[in-house]
Every structure is written in structure tokens, then in C-alpha cells.
Amino acid sequence: MVLARYILRGPSQAALVISTSAILAMIVMPFSWISAAALILVILHQDKDVAVRATAIASVAVVVLSWMIFGTPLLAIGYLLFLWLPSAVIAYVLRQSVSLVLSLQLLTLLGLIVVTGLFLFFPTLGETWREAFEQIIKPAIEQAGATIDPVQLENLLALFARSVNGLLAIVLVFNVLMGLFIARWWQAALFNPGGFAREFNELKLGKVFASVTALLLIANAVISNDWVLGSMLLMVSITLIQGTAIMHGIIAKRQLSRGWTFGFYVLLLLIPQAAIVLAVMGLLDAWVDIRKQIKPKLS
């Protein structure tokens, strides 16, 4: 928790972590989670003025660094609009409501707004990404000496083009979400040990969320529409978070060892199809309350 304590020492220290990790994220993407987490932690625990000053200093620092390294200030603008601003909004909502559920619901809504905005104002974005992806994947396949059915490749590229809006929204939401979880974990470790684990284990996004997700799944099976597909992908990705929380809750309720948690994530990596079961659990939990059905371990 050394880093978290350093961030809370003042706006200059927070700005240093926010801006440095933002630049490092250009090399290793997960550093963007640290950048978002640092900002969120400041908003959760410090005065508003401290958060504003930290963001302002970090913005200036990233403008200067991106101009020196990449010759353009657009990197800072991108971070401000697509990482720090949504992170600040979610952090403020969490500070006022003290509800992780409400924060995730709002974050999902922001993601749906992104999907809708991309669909309405950038209708050719999918094709642009498709062409870029095609220029990368075809030479890679040829260089590897592999063969692939041209029809299958075309179908894959077409699906990718239709999914771009949802995938970009998922990236945005996931970066903010990871920053939120890390910041909440830091805060709990410093001031309320075990608090984040209990909060996450009890996460329940509700029947409205589950119903919207189910409707989008049905709509995507019935009609071919890029907005429906993108929105469905986003909602299902958040449903996976709900399913993960259920598994953590079950492991905690049964007082199982950490090896079970490790094994759970290994299973997801080795058998990606397990994510389907996880998503179904996340949907059913709105009505069944799976964790409630699990009996706690007898002492």
C-alpha cells in the first residue's frame, strides 16, 4: 500500500502517479488502470480541490510529455476525455452514494452512450478498423505459413467490423472499472481492511440490468444491427463481472482456500467457454440469488 499512501500525500504526488502511469500505459496497457485508480482514490478520500489540482497538474504533464515523445498533445486529450473524466464521474458517484452497484450501473450506462455515439456519428468506423486489421492479419498468416479459408476470414473480418463499437466501449469501461476496483481495494486496505472483498462478494446488479441484457441477447439473435450487437457485447461483459463476484462470494461463504480462487481464474484462461457459464450465472442471479442458496461452512 506504499503507492496508495504516496498518492494521498498531496496533489503533486497524485499527479505524478496519474501522469507517469498514463505515459507508461502506451507501453504496457494495464498502467492505465493505475492512472485511473490514482485519480479515483484521490476523489474518494481527498477534498474536491485536491482532485482538481491533481488532474490539472497531470494533464499539463502528459501534454508536455506526449508533445516531447510523440509530437502531439492528443494523448493528453484522449486520457482526459476517455479515462480521467469517466473515472472522476464514477468516483464522485461512489463517494456520494457509497454504492459499488450504482457506480457499475452508471459506468454501464456511460458505455452504452459510447456505443450509441459511435454508431450514430462514426458509421464507417467499423470498416476503417476492418481494413487496418486485414492489412495486419493477412501478412501475419502468410508469414506463419498457415492457411485459412478466405470465406471464413471474410466472415471473421465482417463480424469484427460490426463489433468495433461494442469492443471500444468495453475497453473504455474495463479501464475505468479496473481503476475503480484497484482504488476501492487501496482505500479498503488503508482504512477498512477486507471491506472491498465483502463489497465485491455481495455485488448484485439487479433485475433491470439482467432484463436489459437478456432483451439484447434475444434482439441480437433475431435482427442484424450493429448497435444491438455492440450493446449486447458490453452488457454481457459486465455480466461476466457479476458472475465473477458470485464465484468470489461462494468461495468466501464456504470459507474455501485461496487455491479455489486461483483455480477459478486458471479455468477461465484454459477453457474460455467457461465464461458462458459465468455469464448465465450472472443473469440468473437477479432472480435466483445463487449466493443465498449456498450454505455457509459449518464451524
CA dist 179 and 169 (Å) reads 15
- Cα 145 to its chain centre, rounded Å, is 35
CA dist 246 and 290 (Å) reads 7
- Cα 272 to its chain centre, rounded Å, is 18
Residue 146 has pLDDT above 70, yes or no: no
CA dist 187 and 118 (Å) reads 34
pLDDT tens track for 48-97 = 888 889 988 988 888 888 888 877 777 778 888 889 999 999 999 999 99
Count of all residues that appear for the chain in the document: 299
What's the pLDDT at 52?
87
pTM of the model: 0.93
Residue 92 exposed, middle or buried by CB count within 10 Å (0-12, 13-18, 19+): middle
What whole-number percentage of the chain has pLDDT above 90?
A: 60
CA dist 280 and 289 (Å) reads 13
